[in-house]
Amino acid sequence: MHLDHAVTYPHRHTHSAAPRRADGSRRALRIGLGGPVGSGKTATVAALCRALRAEYSMAVVTNDIYTREDAEFLLREAVLPPERIAAVETGACPHTAIRDDISANLEAVEELEDAFREQAPLDLVLVESGGDNLTATFSRGLVDAQIFVIDVAGGDDIPRKGGPGVTTADLLVVNKTDLAPYVGSDLDRMARDAAEQRAGLPVVFQSLREEDGVHTVARWVRERIAAWVAA
């Protein structure tokens, strides 16, 4: 596990969606996960659910272009009860549904929040984007913070190439570090390039093949929830 920054996570964004509902109750913290196809977004969501579900009331919204495959995977793995998992079929470029026309995703998030409002109000909603390119980021009207997931098998020059996901996401996750020796990726170079591109924003290197490989990202999420609740 590499962590190229001390765990100081800057809270630099402004919330464009009101943190409280009309009745004054606090809504859930919404965290988006984006990144290229196959980088490990669903696997990270599944691992986060397992790590955090005993501590928080949580739910997940998945985005697929024409299918519900990511939601079906999470259901099969039973990472959360089925009523806590919603699927949005974007039917177009994945980034459109998380950045340009966020209505279907907002509706899914708000329906989940409403469904649990009486019983156990949601603390956290994870919104997983469909796999896209390096320019795909979430609208701040949909999520309060975003995680961009890339993997070492996608090429160790991805952090150097930059793009809004790599440079501006609140957390950059470089996944599948276990594969680095097999694909010839230089993790130190990736860490250096990412640090250069991100001006102090945090980067986590993880392998979900390791026992509790998601623990650093889970800690970051806990800190974000604590800050959200305190605000």
Ligand X SMILES: Nc1nc2c(ncn2[C@@H]2O[C@H](COP(=O)(O)OP(=O)(O)OP(=O)(O)O)[C@@H](O)[C@H]2O)c(=O)[nH]1
Numbered residues of the known binding site for GTP: 35-42
Nearer to ligand X, 42 or 139 (CB): 42
Q: Does 179 bind ligand X (CB under 6 A)?
A: yes
Beta bridge partners of 20: 26
Pick the stretch among 36-44, 112-120, 165-173, 222-230 that binds ligand X (CB under 6 A). Answer: 36-44
Which member of 1, 7, 37, 231 binds ligand X (CB under 6 A)? 37
Nearer to ligand X, 37 or 92 (CB): 37
Strand order in the sheet with 85-89: 85-89, 58-64, 124-128, 29-34, 145-151, 171-175, 203-205
Nearer to ligand X, 17 or 179 (CB): 179
Nearer to ligand X, 176 or 198 (CB): 176
Contact 188, 196 (CB under 8 A): no
Pick the stretch among 13-21, 35-43, 114-122, 156-164 that binds ligand X (CB under 6 A). Answer: 35-43
Q: Does 146 bind ligand X (CB under 6 A)?
A: no
Which member of 27, 48, 70, 201 binds ligand X (CB under 6 A)? 70
- Token pair belonging to 44: 């990270």
Pick the stretch among 6-14, 97-105, 139-147, 203-211 that binds ligand X (CB under 6 A). Answer: 203-211
Pick the stretch among 77-85, 101-109, 172-180, 184-192 that binds ligand X (CB under 6 A). Answer: 172-180
Nearer to ligand X, 32 or 131 (CB): 131
Nearest 5 degrees, angle CA 41-CA 44-CA 50?
145
Q: Does 42 bind ligand X (CB under 6 A)?
A: yes
- Compute the distance between CA of residue 224 and CA of residue 226 in angstroms, rounded to an integer: 5
- Cβ contacts of residue 141 below 8 Å, gap of 6+? 16, 17, 102, 106
Which member of 83, 157, 209, 231 binds ligand X (CB under 6 A)? 209
Q: 69-76 vs 41-52: helix axis angle to the nearest 10?
A: 40
Q: What DSSP designation does 213 have? A: T
Q: 215-230 vs 41-52: helix axis angle to the nearest 10?
A: 60
Binding residues (CB under 6 A) for ligand X: these are: 35, 37-43, 70, 131, 175-176, 178-179, 207-209
